Structures are given as C-alpha cells and as structure tokens.
Structure 1
Amino acid sequence: MPKYLTAVLFVLLSISAKAQTWEIGGEVGAAGYIGDLNVNNPVKPSGGQAGFFIKRNFDRYIALKLNYTYGQISGDDAKSNSQQFRDRNLNFTTPLKELSLMAEFNFMSYIPDAGKNLYTPYIYAGAGLTAFAPRTIYNGDVVGLRPLRTEGQAAEYAKNAIVIPFGAGIKYNFSGKWTVAADLGYRYTNTDYLDDVSGSYANKNQFGSKNVARALSDRSGEVTGVYIGAQGVQRGDYRPRDFYMFVGFTVSYTFVTDKCYF
C-alpha cells in the first residue's frame, strides 16, 4: 500500500476547521484499458470494478478523497477486427488494486441536504499506486505472465505502477444527505506491461527449457500453424505507457452539521 498517500491524508485531515465534513461511499462500474491489445478505443470496457472511498469536503467546492478500487481489465487478439492482431493471437487478464488520493472540484456550490443546488458537474485529479498481475489461460490453466519474461527481459517488470488519475462526472443529491454520482476517469501509468506486451519478440532460444515461457512469447501458431514471432519483430505498439479507465456510479453519505460550510 502506498504509505505516503495515507500520511498526506492524515496530515490534511488533522487540520481542524468548521468548514470540513466527512463523506463515505462506494462505487461499482466497468473497467477498460488502452494499450498494446487495444490501441484506439479509449471507452471500450473489458472488465468490472468496485471500490470505496472516504472524502473530506473542505467547502462547497473543494474536497480530498482517499479511494481504493479493485478492477479487472483484459484483452484478446482473437476477438479483434484487425487481421494483424488476430494473427498475433495474444490475450491477457489483469487484476488491478488501486489506492489513490484525489482532489475534487465542484463547478457549482454543492451541499447535500443544505444547499440550493441539487446537482453539480465536477472534475478530479490526483496520484496513486496500482498493483497489477497479468495472466493468461494456457492448456486450461491460469498462468502468471510476469515471471515468464515473455519478451526476453533481463528482469521481471515491477509489480506496482504509479498512476495519475483524472476525470469528470456529475453528482446529484437525491435524498437527504445521500448523493449519487456518475463519472468517467482515466489512469496514466508509468508502465507498459499491464498487458505483458511492450516491444519486440525475443529470441526463443534464450528460454532454454522454459517451455511455457517460449510458448507464450509467441502464440500466433496456435491458430495458423505459422509462427510470426521472429526475434526483433514488433510484438507491441511501441508506445511507452499503458492507460486504464474506470467508469461507474457512486453512492455516498455526507455527515453535514449545522456549522458546516459557513
């Protein structure tokens, strides 16, 4: 867990002020990703997501939210509209465990059960850390891809990625101190391995007796009988970073007091 995020939040929340209120809530929705197996559709869902958050509202417009989300993304060349991707025949599923700290800004004055506006658009941005573990199905078994170094890496890529969340949404005070919101957010990451694909095919001889690693480095022949993954041939899209997306609905409760926001 990114301890620095918790430390920053603790310092901020330790500041006592009448204009601060707590808010807690949960979210469910869909997850998607933009990377080597989905290069051009930024709103394509490929899995689900759910999470919870605790928020500190500093005034009618500004809040700080600590958020935990579990999601899953996936990709499958066999289902692509591109013949080139279908020939490559790679696939993956990656669970994501994200802890993030985000600042939120309401465009309109908003106080559940106490303000004149029942709704407001909002935007948010922040920083976080995501644990990820790409895997695939091979011969009926779930296989973790990171330890296999399928592109001939000298070392395993990191288990965690730094992420920059940003997005927008709209919230609505539907009953008393209860708020429902819908938002769409993206996460810029510092890794290109959410899908275990990045650069070029490796020299298969370097895998030695690691038969599973060799087989999963180039899966094209599983379909065509012809393997296209010669050493140095492009395997990924050569873009340096992957993105992922969370879209969903949240329900939250705000602990509003008589002295809040004044």
Structure 2
Amino acid sequence: MKKVNFQIFKTLVCISILGLCFLSEAKAQKYEIGGGLGTTAYTGDILRKIDLDHLGLHGTLFGKRNFDNVWTLRLGLTAGTLRATDSVRPYDLVAERRDARFRGGIIEGTAIMEFNFLDFLRNDSEFFWSPYAFFGIGYSHFFAKGNTYAFQFSERYNVGTVVIPFGGGVKYRLDDRWTLAVEAGIRATFTDYLDKVDSRTPPIPRFQDPANPNQPYGINYGNPYDKDWYYFLGVTLSYTIASTKCYAY
C-alpha cells in the first residue's frame, strides 16, 4: 500500500513540475485573437476549376499561440457560403443537360500550424513582414439547397466531412500588438456530395422511353474518383494580448 501511495505521490509531483514548466513557458509566449473576411470558391462535379462568377463570402474568428518565432498554432471557426450551377458555364454536354445547382452555407472548425519564413515576431526584429505556410486538420458542416437534375425540385440537404486545410499568405506587423495578413487557403474534403452530385446518384435512363417522351434522359451522375474541394481568400487582423519582450545582452 505504501509503495502504491509513493508511486501516486511521484506521479503527482511529476505532473506538477510539468505543469509549472508549461505555465512558466506560456507566460513567455505571445497569444493573439483576431478575425477576417474574404471570398470562397468551390470545385467538384459542377465546376472543374475556380469560377469568378460563383464566388461566395466568408468570415472567420481565431485564436493563436506563437510557440517561437517560427511556429504558430491557430484554432479557428469560419462560416461562409458556397454555390455553383451547371447553367452558367457547363463544362460539357452532359453537364448542360444535367443542369444541377446548389447554394448553401458552411461552418468549419480547424486546428492549424503556421510556419513563418522570416523572424518577424520579435519586437527588435529587422523584419516587419513574413510569408508563411500552414497545414492542419478540421471539420466542416455544409447545409444547402440544390438539385441533381434539371427536372428535380431543389431539396435541402446536409453534409459533414473532415477537411485538410493548407495554404499560405503574407503577414505584416503594424506595431507591437497588431498584425495584418492576406491568406489563401485550400480545403481538401472527404466527400463528393457538397454539390449534391456524386457517383452514388442513380443515373436516369440513357435513352428516352418511346412510350414516355416526357421522361428526361442522359448520364447525370458524378465522378467517383474526384472529391469536392473549397477555397478561401481573405484578409485577417489579429491583436497580441500577451507578450514578453526578448532582450539581448
């Protein structure tokens, strides 16, 4: 029994020491809160490439911890809109006959690591700006209204998916507290149903039924080898709420 209690005591001491080390280190780090606005875009079965006629809007809120002058952890929440339609610029005859469309909103939570290429976070740094790259993981919930075929009425649907965010941008330190950034982000999803068109959608008959001339016909399902993607481009502004200056001796 005494041996067990001693093991518990040692464990608690180790946890306490680690906690104190973490807190003492945390006080020497910079923390930031901020937000941003920008545009959104989508690619998938309806749009094969980003189309300026199908842009949406997004807003984001985030918190950051700068571990050092290079690595930064960012936790963010983003809400935006996505939309697309075959009728504006169909990429082939099948898409023109399909005439699918969707419009909806997306809510995303992410955990991202940023890498700053220049040492610009120190107050005495010679750099006031830095390009950066980022990668991470997240989860998105998409709620929309759309139709797969032209003859269908638009229906509401919901899609949840894990996303892999990555991209880059440029940061500019306005002063010791404020940082401005321009960022382009890509989201790789694990679903083919953001646009309500996927390989599981039953095809309508290839040839028209002579006994039913009003029946639509054609191949109208999606590509089973291609997932949907979406993109962010925006401007962010962050405020440093805690910092410790570095001094050189």
Query: Could you tell me which residue of structure 1 aligns to residue 236 of structure 2?
Result: 250
Query: Could you tell me which residue of structure 1 aligns to residue 61 of structure 2?
Result: 52
Query: Could you tell me which residue of structure 1 aligns to residue 186 of structure 2?
Result: 186
| Residue 199 of structure 1, CA deviation | 1.7
**Mapping for residues 168-207 of structure 1, pairs under 5 Å:** 168-199=168-199, 201-202=201-202
Could you tell me the TM-score, scaled by structure 1's length?
Answer: 0.72
Distance 1:98 1:20 in 2: 27
- For 2:144, the aligned partner's letter is P
**Mapping for residues 29-178 of structure 1, pairs under 5 Å:** 29-41=38-50, 46-84=55-93, 85-111=95-121, 113-136=123-146, 143-145=155-157, 159-178=159-178
- For 1:172, the aligned partner's letter is Y
| Residue 34 of structure 1, CA deviation | 1.1
Secondary structure at 2:87 match in 1: helix
| Residue 164 of structure 1, CA deviation | 0.5
| Residue 244 of structure 1, CA deviation | 0.7
Query: Could you tell me which residue of structure 1 aligns to residue 13 of structure 2?
Result: none
- For 1:68, the aligned partner's letter is L
**Mapping for residues 212-227 of structure 1, pairs under 5 Å:** 227=216
Q: 1:20·1:58 contact (CA, 8 Å) conserved in 2?
A: yes
- Would the alpha carbon gap of residues 228 and 46 (structure 1) be closer, same or farther in structure 2, given more than 3 Å must change? farther
Q: State yes or no: 1:237 paired with 2:223.
A: yes
- For 2:172, the aligned partner's letter is Y
- For 2:47, the aligned partner's letter is N
Distance 1:97 1:112 in 2: 34
- For 1:193, the aligned partner's letter is Y
Secondary structure at 1:87 match in 2: helix
Secondary structure at 1:105 match in 2: strand
Q: 2:128·2:172 contact (CA, 8 Å) conserved in 1?
A: yes
Could you tell me the TM-score, scaled by structure 2's length?
Answer: 0.76
Size of the aligned set, in residue pairs, is 215
Higher alpha-carbon Rg: 2
- Would the alpha carbon gap of residues 81 and 192 (structure 1) be closer, same or farther in structure 2, given more than 3 Å must change? closer
Distance 1:40 1:226 in 2: 31
Distance 1:88 1:41 in 2: 20
| Residue 88 of structure 1, CA deviation | 1.3
1:69-89 Cα offsets, whole Å, 9 max, x none, are 001111011101535222211
| Residue 255 of structure 1, CA deviation | 2.8
Secondary structure at 2:224 match in 1: coil
| Residue 179 of structure 1, CA deviation | 0.8
Q: What's the % identity of the aligned pairs?
A: 32
- Would the alpha carbon gap of residues 51 and 90 (structure 1) be closer, same or farther in structure 2, given more than 3 Å must change? same
**Structure 1: which 5+ runs fail to align?**
1-11, 147-158, 206-224
1:50-107 Cα offsets, whole Å, 9 max, x none, are 0100000011111100000001111011101535222211100131100000000000
Q: 2:70·2:115 contact (CA, 8 Å) conserved in 1?
A: yes
Distance 1:123 1:201 in 2: 37
